[in-house]
Structure 1
C-alpha cells in the first residue's frame, strides 16, 4: 500500500509539473488581415447647364471675338499661352489662348450678370441657387484626379462644374463676402492654376517657356497689368487708386532681387527647404508667400519702409492671382486699404513682390 501511494504521488506530481517544466510550443496562429485599402469615394459633383463664358472654353478664339469684338491688346505670358485683353464696361475681361483655342476666361466687375451668376452676390445666395460640391472626382489624361475643397475654399473660392467638362472658380471678397471675379477654364488649366488640395492624382506644373522671349519685357508687362488690375478693383469698389512712384517701384525691385539672390538671409532652414521644394515643383497649389516677419526682415536689410507688402510665387497669371489674394483674409487687406498710398510692383518670371508705401511728400503737400 505504501509503495502504491508513493508511485501515485510521483505520477500526480509529474503530471501537474510537466506543463510547467516542459511548456508546449506556442502555436502561432496567423491572423488574416484585410489588405483592401479603404477608399472614401468622393460624391459625384453636380454639373450645371453650360451658360455664358463657359460656352467659349475649348472653342476657337475667333468664336469668342465674333461676340466680344477684337482685343485691345495681345501679350505673351512666357508660360505657353497668350493673353488677350478686351474692353468691358466697368470691369476687366481677359482671355488666355493656347494653340488658337480659348483655355481660360477671367472677368472682374462689381455689378452685372455673369451667367448663370451675378457680380455682387454673396456666397449664401450662390448656395441657394446651386448645390456646391466639396469633392471633385475627375479624369485627366486617363488618370483619376480627386480635388478636395476646404471650408474656406467653399466659402471664398467655390468650384463650379459645367456639363461641357469646363469649370468656373468664383472668387468672393474675403472681407465683404461678395462675388468680385470669376475664372472659367478647362481641366488642364484648372490643374495648373487651382488653389485647391489634390487628394489623388498630380497637379500640373507651370511650364516656363524656353524661347527667345525677352523676359525683361514680359516682366514689365505683367507689372503694368497687375497695377492696372489692382487700381481697377479699387475703382469698382469706390476706393482711391494707388499712385505709382519711382521710389516704391525701385524699392519693390530691390527687395525682390535681394530675396531671389540670397533667400537664406531671410528664411530659416525649414522655410528654405519649403522654398526650394516649391521652386523645383513649379506648382500653383504649392504657393510660397513670405511671412510678415520675413518680409520685415528683408525690408530692414534694405533699409526700406513700407505700410504693407506681399511676396508671392508662383504668379503665372496676374489677374487670376489677384482674385486669389482678394479672396483670402490677410491678403485682401493690401487692396482694400482706404488710403491712396504709393504702390510698387516687381516681377521676375513666376515671382512677384508688391509694396505699399506712404505717398511721397511734395512741396505742394507740405
Structure 2
C-alpha cells in the first residue's frame, strides 16, 4: 500500500508538471499572427495646424497691381499673354537671373523663379528637402479660407518629397519643385490663394472645378503661341541649370508634331486603344482643372509619333492633355522619374512644339533635317 501511495503522489506531480508547462510557456510565447490585434492608422481628415513663415522677397509682391510691380521691378524683358486677363512678365534670361511674374486681372497672382541668384530667401536653389526641413516642417495637409469657403488640401507622399507646399503669414504659398535626379530645389512658385484654387495642384477635400472658358480660334492661336515661347524658354533655362545645351526649334519636328496631333484628334483610338484608358482621356478632355493632365504610356506614345511620319526613327517626345499652366507642367516633367528622361538627354539639340487647344506635343531629336529651317529660342526673345 505504501508503494501504491507513493506511485499516486509521483503520478500527480508528473501530471501537474505537464499540464502547467503549456500554460507557463504560452505566457512567454508570442501570439499567433491571427490572434494579434492590429491598430490601423487612418489618415486624419482634419487639416493639421501648420506653421507659417514670415513673408519675404517674392512672397511680398503677390497682390500688387501691375503699376506697383513695375515701380519695384521695371523693364521686363518679355511679356506673354496666355489667357483672358492673364499674362506673364519675364525678367532675366539665363540660369542665374530668370524669373517670371503672372498678372491676373491686373494684379500679381504668382511668381515663378528658376534663376539661382534670384532672392528666394529663406530658401535657395541649392537646397535639398532635408535643408528645407530644418527651416520648416513639411506638412501633409493645409486648410485655408477663400471667398467665404474653407479649402482643405492633402499632399501625397510624392508631393511631400518633390513638390511640398509652404505657407507664409501674408496668406500666400510657395510650391517647391525638386529635381528628381539631384534632389535639389529646381524652382519656386509663389502663389496667391486664388491661384492655388485655380491651379488645383494637389488633392482638395472636395471637388473643385473652374468654369470652362470659351475661346475663339484666333484667341487659341495667340495664347498657344505665347505658351510655345514660354515652354521653350523654361525648358532651356532648366537645361542650362543641368548643364545641357539649349534646344533649337526645328521646323521639321514642328511639322511632325502638328501632323501627329491633327491625326490623333481625328481618331484618338488610333493611339489610345484600351477602353479604360480612352475613358480616362475623355475625362481629362472635359476637365476644367488646368493641372489635371493625361500622359500617354510608352506604346501609346509610339503610336502617336508614327502618326507624324517622323523622318528620323530617333525622334521621341512628351504629350500632355490639359496644358493649362506651363511652369507647373514643365517643372513636373523634371520631378517625374520617367518624363525627365526625355528632357535631360545631353545629345538632343532640336525640338518641335505643337499645340491644339489644351494639348501639347513636344518632340526631341539629336539632329535636324534642314539646319537652314532652324531657329534658336533666343531669337524669340
* TM-score (structure 2 length as normaliser): 0.79
Distance 1:133 1:66 in 2: 35
CA deviation after TM superposition for structure 1 residue 158, in Å: 0.6
Kindly tell me the number of residue pairs found equivalent between the two proteins: 325
CA deviation after TM superposition for structure 1 residue 159, in Å: 0.4
Equivalent residue runs for 1:190-209 within 5 Å:
190-198=196-204, 200-205=205-210, 207-208=212-213
Tell me what 1:48 maps to.
53
Tell me what 1:330 maps to.
338
The structure-2 alpha-carbon separation of the partners of 1:64 and 1:116, relative to structure 1 and needing over 3 Å to count, comes to farther
Distance 2:93 2:250 in 1: 28
2:83 alignment partner, SS class: coil
Tell me what 1:347 maps to.
355
> What do residues 63-105 of structure 1 show as CA deviations (whole Å, max 9, x unaligned)?
2222221222223212541222123662422111122210011
Tell me what 1:320 maps to.
328
1:353 alignment partner, SS class: strand
The structure-2 alpha-carbon separation of the partners of 1:233 and 1:39, relative to structure 1 and needing over 3 Å to count, comes to closer
Equivalent residue runs for 1:1-366 within 5 Å:
40-87=45-92, 90-111=96-117, 113-198=119-204, 200-205=205-210, 207-208=212-213, 210=215, 213-267=218-272, 268-304=274-310, 305-360=313-368
Distance 2:45 2:266 in 1: 45
Structure 1 unpaired stretches of 5+: 1-37
Tell me what 1:31 maps to.
none
CA deviation after TM superposition for structure 1 residue 51, in Å: 0.8
Q: Is the 8 Å Cα contact of residues 194 and 285 (structure 1) preserved in structure 2? A: yes
Please give the root-mean-square deviation of Cα atoms over the aligned residues, in Å: 2.3
1:346 alignment partner, SS class: strand
Q: Is the 8 Å Cα contact of residues 256 and 309 (structure 2) preserved in structure 1? A: no
Distance 1:152 1:111 in 2: 27
Greater displacement, 319-328 / 203-212: 203-212
* TM-score (structure 1 length as normaliser): 0.82
Q: Is the 8 Å Cα contact of residues 80 and 230 (structure 2) preserved in structure 1? A: no
CA deviation after TM superposition for structure 1 residue 108, in Å: 0.6
2:45 alignment partner, SS class: coil
Q: Is the 8 Å Cα contact of residues 341 and 357 (structure 1) preserved in structure 2? A: yes
> What do residues 151-172 of structure 1 show as CA deviations (whole Å, max 9, x unaligned)?
1111110101111111110111
Q: Is the 8 Å Cα contact of residues 172 and 180 (structure 1) preserved in structure 2? A: yes
CA deviation after TM superposition for structure 1 residue 211, in Å: 5.9
Structure 2 unpaired stretches of 5+: 1-42, 372-381
Greater displacement, 341-350 / 105-114: 105-114
